[in-house]
Structure 1
Amino acid sequence: MGEAVGYDIVLKGGRVICPASGRDGVFDVAVRDGRIAAIEETILPMRANSVIDVSGKLVLPGMIDTHGHCYQYVSGRFGLDPDMVGVHSAVTSVVDQGGASCMTLPGFRKFIVEPKKTRVYSFLSAYLVGGLEGHYYPNLYSPECVDVDATVRAAIANRDLVRGIKGHAEIGGFARWGITVMEMAAEIARRAEIPLYVHFGALWGLPESGTNGEDADTILERVIPLLKEGDILAHPFTRNPGGFVNRDGKVHDVIKAALDRGLKIDVGHGSHFSYRIAAKAIAAGVVPHTLGADMHGYNTHVPAPAGTPAEHPDDENHPFRGQARFSLTQAMSSLMALGLSVEQVVPMVTANPAAMLGLADRLGALKVGYAADISVLDDNRGRFLLRDNEDTKVVTDRLLTPAFCLRNGERFDADAPILPEAVAA
C-alpha cells in the first residue's frame, strides 16, 4: 500500500461555494505547496500538518476586488496599502482603477505589485498623470493630458499586469471638454484589445447640468455607443447625477440595450453607493456582474461628524466627513439586504471578475491545481444595521464579515484597521 498523501493545510467543514465549478456544499479543502490539492466531502485530519475548522463559515475562491485605489503615496492621499484592502481584508486580488498611467506604471510594478502579498492588477489610467486626486486638479484630466499612442504601447507591453483601461464619463469633464476624453479612452482600449472601465456619476464638482450646455442625463446615451463588448459600466447605484437613474427616478433606456450587446456592470460601491438608487435599478433588472469596493484614502479615513474635534488639519473640509465605512464583504451584504441571494453575489467577487480580467484559467475558482487563493467569511445571522451616505438605513438579518484568507497557501487574518464593525439593529 502506498504512503498516505500529506497536505500542508486542510480547511475543514465549511460551506464551499465555487460558481466556476458549480460546487456548493460542505466540503474539506486541502492545500499543498501553495496549491489546491483536493476538495472532498471528508479529508482525514491526520493527513494534514494543519487543520483549520471553518464549519459554519463560507469558503470561497480568493475574492477579487475589481475597484481598488492602491497606488500608495504616488496617488496622494487617495492611494491605500494594497495589502490592507487585500489580504488583510480576506481579499486575495485587487484591481487598481486608474492609479497608474503609462508614465508611472514602472513604479507601480516595482513598488506596489512586486513586494506585496496581494495580487495586484492595473486598469491603466487613460490620463498621463494617473489617479492624482482629480477633484483637486481637474485640469490634469483634459484631452491635452492624454497620449493615446503611449498608453496603448504601455498596455500592450505590460499585458501580465494591465488588464484594462480606466476612463471617466462625468459631468465635470463633459462640461469642460465634452466627450473628447472618452473618445480617446475608448480608442486606447480598442487598440490595446482590453476592456474599458467607465466611471459614471458626477465627480469633479461642476453643476449637474447647464455648464457649457451639458446635461448629466445625456452622458450615458452618448458614451455607450463608443463602447465594445466586455467594456464595463461602473457605479450603477451612485447617488450622484449622471448615473444609471436619471433625475426623474427612471433607469436609462440605454442600459438594457447595452447589456444585450455584451457590456458589463460593476458596482464600484464607493462613498456614493445609494440604497435608494440601488433598489430602483435592481427592480428594473440591473443586476451587476462584478462588485468592486472602491475604497480609497478619503473614504477609509473618515473624520467624525461636524461639531466634533478634528483629528487632522484638513478634516474640516474632508469630502466624506461623518460618512459610513464599508468593505468588499459589507458591500456583498448590502446587495443581499436589497434582495439578491448569496448565490448571486458570490460570482460577483470570484468567477465573474476572473473572466473580466481574462484570468479565469488561474483565478476565481477552487479547482485542484489552481493557486490556493481562498477567502473564508463569517456568515453572521441576527439583526444588523447598514447605512449609506445618504443616511438611508437598512436592517438585514445576514452580515458577511471577513475571517481570513489563504494567498498561495499562506494565511492572513482579516485584521485591517479600515474594516467596519458590525452594528446591531
Structure 2
Amino acid sequence: MNQVLLKGGHVIDPAAGRDGIFDVLINGTTIAAVDRDLAPADAATQVVDCRGKLVLPGLIDTHGHIYQGVTGRFGLNADMCGVHSGVTTLVDQGGASCITLPGFRRYVVEPSKTRVLSYLSAYLVGGLEGHYYPELYRPECLDVEATVSAARSNPDLVRGLKAHAEIGGFERWGLEVMRLAAQIGREAALPVYIHFGQLWPKPESGGRGVDPDSIFNQVVDMLKPGDILAHPFSKHPGGFVELDGSVHPMVKEAIARGLKIDVGHGSHFSFRTARIVLDAGVLPDTLGADMHGYNTIVPPPPGTPSWHPDESTHIFKGNERFSLVSAMSSMLALGIPLAHVVAMVTSNAARLARMEDEIGSLRIGGVADVSVLDDLRGRWALHDNEGTQVITDRMLRPAFCYRNGERFDADAAILPTAKAA
C-alpha cells in the first residue's frame, strides 16, 4: 500500500483531545498513526512537509446545495465544493426529496469523490431553484408517509430532514408546514434541520400579518432534542434576533431542551447579528458554507430564472467567492476560539451526520480523511452581505485534502482570494 507521512503540522482533533505538533501516517485508505516525530516506514513512504499548516480531520460541510442538474441554478458540483475546496464530506440540505432521492444517489453520491450525505427535503419537490416558486412548498406539497419511507429505506444516505420556518411561509400557511416536517422527523427518528430567515417575500395579498418575533418560539415548541436551528447569524428577521436587536428569549431555552445550532453561512450571514448572538453567550455547534448558484461566481445553467430573492438581497449579486474554510476564517474574526471552530466542522459536524464513530476524527485504523489548511498571519478585510467590514489578522486557506487516502489539491474556482485590509 502507498504510505504518506504528513510531517510537522499543527494537528487539532477535538474528538481525540489532541492539539499540538504531530505527524500523521496514512497507510492506503486508513490512518495508521498519529504521534510526534514519526519516521517513514520505508524508502517508498511519501513525506509531505506540513510545517506551519493545520492538519485536521477531514472537514465536514453541514450545509451544501449540490443536486447539480436537478435543482436548477441552485445546485453546485459536489467535488468543487468538496474535495477541491479541502472538504471531505458534504451534507446536502434539502436538495433531494422522497421522489428524487434515487437520482441523487445515482448521479451525485455515487460518482463523487467527496463523501455526500443527505438531509432529505420535507417537500415533495425538494430544493428546486432554491425554493424560487413558493407555491410548491405549501402544506399540500408534503407527504409524510412517503418521506418517512424514503428516509427509512436509505439509512446510509439520509441523515436528517430539512424544513423551513421563515416569514414568507408563515405568512402564507401558518404552522402547518412546520408541523408536518416535525412529524416526519419524529416518525423517521431523524433530526430536523430548520431554516430561519427569508426564503420568499411575503405574499402581496392574503398574508396573515405574522409578527416575526413570534416565529422562533412557535417552531421550537414543535421540535425534539437533537433537531437543528440554522442561520443564527442571519440578517433577516424571524430568527435568533428580534426586531429590537435583542436575542430572542427562547434561544437559551431551546439549547436547554437539547436543540443544536448550525451556522449556515451563505447569503444570510451578518457580522452585526453574529456579534449580538455571541455576546449573549450563544455559541453555535456546527458550521456550513451554504453555497449555491445564486451566491457564488458559477455561471447559471441556460434557461434558469435570471432573478432570485436570495440574489436580490445579496450585495455581491452572485459574484462572491467563498468556501467552508473562508467561513471558518469569519468565525475566527468574530473571536470564536480556533479549537471550537475546528470542532464545528469535524467532531460536532460528524454528530450532525450521525457518523461520529466513522468520521470527524483522525482515528487510528479509521478512514484517511484529512484536511490540510494554510494558517496565514497578516491583515485582511472580510465583508458580509450587509456591507459590514471586519478586519482580521488570521486567514485560513485550504491547501489539500486526503479523502479515503486519495489526495486532492484545493484548486476549485470558487475559492476566494483574500483582500488586504
Q: TM-score, normalised by structure 2?
A: 0.94
Q: Which residue of 1 aligns with 2:316?
A: 322
Q: Which residue of 1 aligns with 2:250?
A: 254
User: Residue deviations 1:120-166, cap 9 Å, x none?
Assistant: 00000000000002542110001110000000000000010000000
In 1: Cα distance, 2:297 partner to 2:181 partner: 31
Tell whether 2:245 aligns with 1:265: no
User: Residue deviations 1:285-305, cap 9 Å, x none?
Assistant: 1110000000001111279xx
1:328 positional shift: 0.7
Tell whether 2:237 aligns with 1:237: no
Structure 1 residues 316 and 251: CA distance shift in structure 2, 3 A: closer
Tell whether 2:273 aligns with 1:281: no
Does structure 1 conserve the Cα–Cα contact (< 8 Å) formed by 2:368 and 2:402? yes
The counterpart of 1:44, out of the listed 23, 39, 63, is: 39
SS of the aligned residue for 2:294 comes to helix
Match of 1:215, as an amino acid?
A: D
Match of 1:322, as an amino acid?
A: F
Does structure 1 conserve the Cα–Cα contact (< 8 Å) formed by 2:235 and 2:270? yes
Does structure 2 conserve the Cα–Cα contact (< 8 Å) formed by 1:128 and 1:146? yes
1:213 positional shift: 2.5
Sequence identity percentage:
62
SS of the aligned residue for 1:213 comes to coil
Structure 1 residues 90 and 208: CA distance shift in structure 2, 3 A: farther
In 1: Cα distance, 2:339 partner to 2:413 partner: 28
Gaps of 5+ in 2: none
The counterpart of 2:376, out of the listed 371, 375, 380, is: 380
Q: Which residue of 1 aligns with 2:100?
A: 104
Match of 1:175, as an amino acid?
A: E
User: Residue deviations 1:175-197, cap 9 Å, x none?
Assistant: 11111000000000111001000
- With 237-246 and 129-138 compared, the bigger mean Cα shift is at 129-138
RMSD of Structure 2 on Structure 1 (CA): 1.9
1:341 positional shift: 1.1
Gaps of 5+ in 1: 1-5, 304-311
1:356 positional shift: 1.5
Match of 1:196, as an amino acid?
A: V
In 1: Cα distance, 2:326 partner to 2:206 partner: 37
In 2: Cα distance, 1:240 partner to 1:127 partner: 23
Structure 1 residues 130 and 60: CA distance shift in structure 2, 3 A: same
Q: TM-score, normalised by structure 1?
A: 0.94
Q: Which residue of 2 aligns with 1:3?
A: none
Tell whether 2:115 aligns with 1:119: yes
In 2: Cα distance, 1:409 partner to 1:211 partner: 53
Match of 1:203, as an amino acid?
A: L
Tell whether 2:23 aligns with 1:13: no
User: Residue deviations 1:313-346, cap 9 Å, x none?
Assistant: 9379953463543211111111111111101110
In 2: Cα distance, 1:114 partner to 1:76 partner: 20
How many residue pairs end up in the alignment? 412
Structure 1 residues 189 and 418: CA distance shift in structure 2, 3 A: same
Does structure 1 conserve the Cα–Cα contact (< 8 Å) formed by 2:118 and 2:160? yes
Q: Which residue of 1 aligns with 2:407?
A: 411
Structure 1 residues 376 and 281: CA distance shift in structure 2, 3 A: same
